[in-house]
Amino acid sequence: MPKAIGEDQGVIVVSNRLPVSLECDGGICHSSPVSGGLVTALSPVLTASKGVWIGWAGAPDVEGVDAALRLFSEDTGYTLRQVGLTSEQIENFYFGFTNQIIWPLFHASNFECNFNPEYWRAYLDVNALFAFRTVESGDEDDYVWVHDYHLMHVAKYMREAGDCRRTGFFLHIPFPSVDCFKRLPWRAELLEALLEYDQIGLQTMHDRRNFIRAVSALLPHVTVSGRGQVVRAKIGSRTVKIGAFPISIDYKKFYKTARSASVRKSAQQVHKALPSSQVILGIDRLDYTKGIPHRLRAMHQLLTDHPEIQGKLSLLQVVVPSRAAIPMYAELKKEIERLVGQINGEFSVPGYVPIHYQYRNLSFDELIAYYRACSIALVTPLRDGMNLVAKEYCAANVERTGVLVLSEFAGAAAQLRNGAILVNPFDVEGVAAAIHQAYTMEKKMRQRRMDRMRESIRKNDIFKWVDSFFASAFAK
């Protein structure tokens, strides 16, 4: 339990998805736990407090879900409560408002947002459902911690229902510049809803500045004061804390797994299958914010500028399937595959293929083996709230000789700038030059850079993140 939370303090976590994966057939559902930093960090807190996790089960409401969740709750020691959504709500709220409006808007994407009023109404309806489920859960002194952009209105609806429990909100994605945010037709309503929380957490100081500027521009009756990690907004008689709390990873888990004999053997097999002397790793969910086509064009530039490295350096690009039902994602997949084919067709020779492309999910051990096998990590999102792949790569780099090439537009850049090679992902020639710098970097320099990043991540792990959020929330 975080030090700020007493033994008798209950905790309710609210997120779009529950920390389980369900398979249902004929009214019988089986659940399995979902891995991830948030689950790793919050499960011990919820177990110790006999808390509640509220979320959507990931599919239209069907018979058998509640029974499966009860069995899961018995195993974990905390309660899972689902918010059932209809197919229409999933379409308009999840695939509509959150994926076609908030996601591109908050990531400052070039794609046009679909400001469909039906999507907005569906978002409000679903947030009201989550709020109602929260109001009827737990005890009157529980702390309610709501996560991410899907649920920015939950506290507002809780207050309207007379629920005055302490609430916190954490935004896992970036907060956009005020000029970008102003495009949202419901901009003031969204800010006012967020300010119903008692504490708002953002990933970086840059995100916090953007949020405060939006509040100042759109809500002149709100005053913000203070310095340091956490500042305060005054709205009438209420005070809201607004802070930067960079999320992290379970460093010990990644380090321990990377050192295991099985992962070491798998890493050796990966490297043996890729005969280049150095292998670059790119691993991303299929999304236009990750900059995968830009990265591939940088590889083409590198191979053109430095023909001497052909046969010595290759890219292992893993793309994890995501949101396949959305047309722009299907088009992105085609574009990636076209570029891979073009580069391989131009630069391959017998015994050497420059781009090794995989479109699939990886198990945790496979992921760690890939981290260990690759001497360079290419993490170049066009915009990212944090990007934990960068931190995971460093934690798993037990030889300490890896090089991280990192986008300056990833939240992780603020923490890792003293060890990573920072790049502008839109600058194809600049990224190509950075890869060449990583390829030619001497071992001692690699180790110095990697040691700095690893130590920073070790000291500021996922558990420190939880502690810092709660410490601020419960401070007077």
As annotated, the active-site residues are: 172, 384
Helix (H, G, I), strand (E, B) or coil at 44: helix
Closest listed residue to residue 409, CA positions, set 429, 395, 390, 433: 390
The string of DSSP codes covering 244-308 is: E------HHHHHHHHTSHHHHHHHHHHHHHS-SSEEEEEEEES-GGG-HHHHHHHHHHHHHH-GG
Q: Which ranges of 348-442 would DSSP assign to H, the alpha helix? A: 364-373, 388-396, 413-416, 428-440
> Which two tokens mark 233?
């907004």
Centre a 10 Å sphere on the Cβ of residue 453 and count the other Cβ atoms it contains: 26
Residue 466 in tokens? 């939880």
Q: Which tokens is 183 given?
A: 């495009």
Cα 165 to Cα 161, 175, 192: the distances in Å are 11, 26, 18
DSSP 54: E
**Four-CA torsion 359, 391, 207, 178, nearest 10 degrees:** -30
In this structure, the number of other CB atoms found within 10 A of the CB of residue 25 comes to 9
CB-CB contact of 410 with 456 (8 Å) = no
Q: Which residues contact 112 (CB under 8 A, 6 or more apart)?
A: 104
| Separation between Cα atoms, residue 425 and residue 405, nearest integer Å | 10
Pair of tokens at residue 31? 């659940």
- Per DSSP, the three-state class of 9 is coil
Residue 298 near residue 432 (C-beta atoms within 8 A): yes
